[in-house]
């Protein structure tokens, strides 16, 4: 990181020789400024992860005291719980499709929008960004894919003669995942998209001019040799955002295809968690699911970070 | 040679010349394909929102036209009046929901921006014992979503007696690392020389943060305001707030959206309101962001 900062020269003198009190005193304001956020962060982000891991080894159910049961929860998840395996399969499929596609979409559209003149750029930014900030406006897809002939999709399929009966979109296992993917992609030009636009605007314009002189021929070379390396921090950040959001789909699935969905076609790790946590109150088991999802997210993110860091080097 | 010519002409000609240069690596074919792509996805993006907009003004009879039309022949405000009647039938007055939303959104957004930026500054600009570890933790904390920690969070909240209070939705949001991370990244770019001179004048880190860094970071905290506003605006309280009197507006509105095709009109009216507020906030602040981004170029 860019840690070339004010105190860097001073801390070259070995810090560990100073007493704890002296360190605190010297950096008093820095620690005090971090403290309010730090406390909230520890209590509501760090502690919950620790608690989830601890409870995942128990049979806690909110009524009785938790008993330590070792890896029983983990074993039953993978050996006995067939529905969990469906959930894992759905989640990974969903993430593998929507994650990369939405990431690339965020970048391409940010890049294209950035080439527009000022006013069209502002309008197009809004058009792409609007779905992701529209709260639960995605429920409109429920009406677009309504199972009667008044739904938009059915109406046109009927009118154009592709089908004779209205399709039960949300009651047919085969359609559930594609619809969820479409809606997720519709929602996915969010924070990463904005970050990319901001990142593109901060790329030094003189670099492009210099490159044109140096023999960069087209926009693709420009993109590869100048834009990507210049906005690597934003690209890494965007990847984290898209991976995390594509792995944590649940409310979308519950709202659109119902819970439980037909043949569990829309069942994800998080809806499984919702089932055991909010409905059955088997919190120990639910925490196990949460811990597994936690590690899947961390693992995917760390791996992708490693790959992206190599880009353009 | 051409360069000398450019500099002799006025600003408009110079702008034109720069533009020409910028266009050097662009082909007509490429422009065409990419514009079409942009347009197609723009339509996909806009279509459902347009559908909401049109349906909100459709009279009941037009909702059942086959096939559904993307225009409205006799626009009416009936859906909004229906919505008003439904809301007036609630036990809790609408003003109370609006009040809850204002409190949650206001405090949540303010808290995120203030606490996040305050913690971001030392982490961005100084090296001190623990700073490296803290920076690392912030990045790792971005890598999992809050849905993973929801259950333990609920238990902690109930232990602290915060369930069914505003705190239950406020604190986890304020403790989110996204805001801090964005602020920190923005602050890293601030030239050290600026902070150095303030330090010579005897300012402590907090004064430097408040008087020098925050004004420079306007684009960053405006972005942060947009992000946390939209997050708080969509909060329904879930299991963390269960009393009807403490629920935010978005909870009531989302209750009205589910209800089949016959309620399409009212549901669309509700959705339209839900969409328009964050979009309006974004439109207002987007121009601000673009403006500040353009003028506040920080160069070493």
Task: Find the mean pLDDT for residues A222-248.
Answer: 84
Q: Hey, what domains does chain B have and what are their CATH numbers?
A: 88-295 (1.10.3720.10)
Helix axes B264-295, B28-56, angle to 10 degrees: 140
Q: How far is CA A9 from CA A14, A23, A81, B126, B190, in A?
A: 11, 16, 57, 10, 18
Helix axes A118-133, A82-114, angle to 10 degrees: 170
Are the Cβ atoms of A33 and B122 closer than 8 angstroms?
A: yes
Do A224 and A46 form a contact (C-beta atoms < 8 A)? no
Do A55 and B153 form a contact (C-beta atoms < 8 A)? no
Residue for token pair 């605190």: A24
Task: Output the pLDDT for position B9.
Answer: 47
Task: Output the pLDDT for position A92.
Answer: 94
Task: Output the pLDDT for position B63.
Answer: 77
Residue for token pair 């450019």: B6
- A 21-50 residues with CB below 8 A of B? 23, 26-27, 29-34, 36-38, 40-41, 43-45, 47-49
Cβ-based contacts of A221 with chain B (< 8 Å): 25
The answer on pLDDT for A62 being more than 90 is no
Cα separation, B236 vs B232, whole angstroms:
9
The answer on pLDDT for A99 being more than 80 is yes
For domain A81-310, give the CATH number.
Answer: 1.10.3720.10
Cβ-based contacts of A108 with chain B (< 8 Å): 37
Are the Cβ atoms of B67 and A159 closer than 8 angstroms?
A: yes
The tokens for A197 are 């636009």
Do A108 and B33 form a contact (C-beta atoms < 8 A)? no
**Nearest Cα to B108, choosing from B241, B4, B199?**
B241
In chain A, pLDDT over 90 holds for what percent of residues? 35
Residue for token pair 């159910």: A61
Three-state SS for B174? helix
The tokens for A38 are 């730090």
User: Using CA atoms in the order B34, B39, B42, B43, what is the torsion angle rounded to 10 degrees?
Assistant: -150
How far does B97 lie from chain A, in Å, by closest CA? 17
The answer on pLDDT for A250 being more than 80 is yes
Three-state SS for A68? strand
Task: Find the mean pLDDT for residues A22-40.
Answer: 91
Interface confidence: ipTM more than 0.85:
no
pLDDT band of residue A85 (cuts 50, 70, 90) is very high
Task: Output the pLDDT for position B298.
Answer: 25
Cα angle A251-A255-A258, degrees, rounded to a multiple of 5: 110
Do A224 and A312 form a contact (C-beta atoms < 8 A)? yes
What b/e sequence results for A158-185 when a residue is b if at least 16 CB atoms lie within 10 Å of its CB, and e otherwise? Answer: beeeeeeebbebbeeeebbbebbbebbb
Tens digit of each residue's pLDDT, chain B (300 residues): 344 444 444 555 554 455 544 455 677 777 788 888 889 999 999 999 998 898 889 888 887 777 777 888 888 888 888 888 888 888 888 888 889 989 999 999 999 999 999 999 999 899 999 999 998 898 889 888 888 888 899 999 999 999 999 999 899 889 888 888 888 877 887 888 888 888 888 888 899 999 888 888 877 788 788 888 888 887 887 788 888 888 888 888 777 766 555 677 888 888 888 888 888 888 887 765 554 433 322 222
What residues have CB less than 8 Å from A236, skipping those under 6 apart?
Answer: A305, A308, A309
Three-state SS for A281? coil
Cα within 13 Å of Cα(A125), Cβ side: 26
Cβ-based contacts of A1 with chain B (< 8 Å): 135, 188
Do B261 and A150 form a contact (C-beta atoms < 8 A)? yes
Are the Cβ atoms of B175 and A237 closer than 8 angstroms?
A: no
Do A136 and A145 form a contact (C-beta atoms < 8 A)? no
Do B226 and B105 form a contact (C-beta atoms < 8 A)? no
In chain B, pLDDT over 90 holds for what percent of residues? 18
Cα separation, A111 vs A82, whole angstroms:
43
Are the Cβ atoms of A302 and B55 closer than 8 angstroms?
A: no
The tokens for B236 are 């329904």
Cα angle A263-A268-A272, degrees, rounded to a multiple of 5: 90
pLDDT band of residue A271 (cuts 50, 70, 90) is very high
Task: Output the pLDDT for position B259.
Answer: 58
Nearest CB to A44 within list B26, B172, B192: B172
pLDDT band of residue A63 (cuts 50, 70, 90) is confident
Cα separation, B168 vs B161, whole angstroms:
9
Task: Output the pLDDT for position A1.
Answer: 40
Cα separation, A42 vs A128, whole angstroms:
35
Task: Output the pLDDT for position A181.
Answer: 94
Cα separation, A109 vs A208, whole angstroms:
19
The answer on pLDDT for A6 being more than 50 is no
Q: Among positive and negative, which fits the CA dihedral A120, A125, A130, A131?
A: positive
What are the structural domain ranges in chain A?
Answer: 81-310
Do A146 and B64 form a contact (C-beta atoms < 8 A)? no
Are the Cβ atoms of B45 and A130 closer than 8 angstroms?
A: yes
Are the Cβ atoms of A128 and B49 closer than 8 angstroms?
A: no
User: Using CA atoms in the order A222, A223, A227, A232, what is the torsion angle rounded to 10 degrees?
Assistant: -150
The tokens for B213 are 């860094």
Task: Output the pLDDT for position B253.
Answer: 76
**pLDDT, tens digit (0-9, with 9 covering 90-100), for A127-167:** 999 998 887 778 888 888 887 777 888 888 888 888 778 88
**Which residues are bridge partners to A58 per DSSP?**
A68
Cα separation, A74 vs A203, whole angstroms:
47
Cα separation, A250 vs A254, whole angstroms:
6
The phi and psi torsions of A68 (rounded to 5 degrees) equal -75, 125
Cα separation, B54 vs A152, whole angstroms:
13
Cα separation, A125 vs B289, whole angstroms:
12
**Nearest Cα to B196, choosing from B184, B217, B212, B183?**
B212
Beta-strand ranges (E) seen in A18-127 are: none
Task: Output the pLDDT for position B288.
Answer: 59
To test the contact with chain B by mutation, choose from A2, A5, A168 the residue with the greatest count of B C-beta atoms within 10 A, namely: A5
The answer on pLDDT for A2 being more than 50 is no
User: Using CA atoms in the order B243, B246, B248, B253, what is the torsion angle rounded to 10 degrees?
Assistant: 40
């Amino acid at each position: 990181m860019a840690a070339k900062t004010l105190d860097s020269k001073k801390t070259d003198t070995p810090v560990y020789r100073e007493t704890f009190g002296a360190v605190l005193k010297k950096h008093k304001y820095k620690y005090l400024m971090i403290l309010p956020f730090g406390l909230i962060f520890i209590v509501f982000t760090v502690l919950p992860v620790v608690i989830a891991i601890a409870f995942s080894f128990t049979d806690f159910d909110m009524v009785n005291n938790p008993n330590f049961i070792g890896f029983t929860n983990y074993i039953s998840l993978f050996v006995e719980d067939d529905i969990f395996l469906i959930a894992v399969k759905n989640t990974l499929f969903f993430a593998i499709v929507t994650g990369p596609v939405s990431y690339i979409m965020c970048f391409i559209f940010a890049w294209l929008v950035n080439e527009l003149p000022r006013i069209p750029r502002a309008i197009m930014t809004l058009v792409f960004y609007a779905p992701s900030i529209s709260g639960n406006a995605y429920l409109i897809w429920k009406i677009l894919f309504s199972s009667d002939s008044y739904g938009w999709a059915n109406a046109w399929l009927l009118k154009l003669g592709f089908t004779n009966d209205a399709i039960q979109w949300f009651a047919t296992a085969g359609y559930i995942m594609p619809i969820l993917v479409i809606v997720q992609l519709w929602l996915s030009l969010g924070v990463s998209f904005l970050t990319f636009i901001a990142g593109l605007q901060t790329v030094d314009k003189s670099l492009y001019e210099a490159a044109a002189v140096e023999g960069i021929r087209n926009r693709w070379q420009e993109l590869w040799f100048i834009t990507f390396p210049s906005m690597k921090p934003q690209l890494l950040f965007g990847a984290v955002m898209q991976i995390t959001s594509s792995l944590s789909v649940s409310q979308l699935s519950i709202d659109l295809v119902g819970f439980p969905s037909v043949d569990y076609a829309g069942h994800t790790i998080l809806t499984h968690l919702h089932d055991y946590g909010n409905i059955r109150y088997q919190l120990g088991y639910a925490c196990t699911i949460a811990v597994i999802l936690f590690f899947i997210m961390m693992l995917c993110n760390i791996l992708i970070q490693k790959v992206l860091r190599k880009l353009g080097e | 040679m051409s360069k000398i010519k450019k500099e002799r002409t006025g600003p408009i000609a110079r702008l034109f010349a720069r533009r020409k240069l910028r266009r050097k690596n662009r082909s007509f074919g490429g422009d065409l394909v990419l514009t079409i792509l942009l347009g197609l996805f723009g339509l996909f993006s806009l279509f459902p929102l347009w559908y909401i907009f049109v349906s909100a003004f459709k009279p009941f009879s037009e909702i059942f036209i086959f096939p559904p039309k993307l225009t409205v022949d006799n626009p009416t405000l009936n859906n909004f009046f229906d919505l008003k009647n439904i809301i007036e039938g609630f036990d809790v007055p609408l003003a109370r929901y609006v009040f809850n939303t204002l409190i949650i959104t206001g405090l949540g957004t303010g808290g995120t921006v203030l606490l996040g930026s305050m913690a971001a500054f030392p982490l961005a600009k100084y090296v001190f014992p623990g700073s490296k570890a803290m920076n690392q933790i912030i990045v790792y904390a971005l890598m999992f979503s809050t849905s993973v920690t929801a259950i333990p969070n609920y238990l902690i909240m109930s232990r602290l007696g915060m369930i069914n209070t505003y705190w239950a939705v406020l604190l986890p949001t304020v403790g989110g690392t996204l805001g801090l991370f964005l602020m920190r990244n923005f602050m890293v770019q601030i030239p050290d020389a600026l902070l150095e001179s303030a330090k010579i004048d005897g300012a402590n880190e907090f004064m430097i943060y408040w008087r020098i860094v925050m004004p420079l970071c306007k684009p960053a905290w405006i972005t942060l305001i947009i992000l946390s506003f939209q997050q708080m605006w969509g909060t329904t309280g879930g299991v963390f707030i269960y009393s009807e009197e403490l629920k935010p507006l978005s909870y009531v509105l989302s209750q009205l959206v589910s209800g089949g095709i016959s309620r399409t009109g009212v549901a669309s009216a509700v959705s339209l309101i839900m969409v328009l507020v964050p979009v309006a906030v974004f439109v207002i602040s987007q121009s601000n962001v673009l403006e500040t981004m353009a003028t506040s170029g920080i160069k070493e």
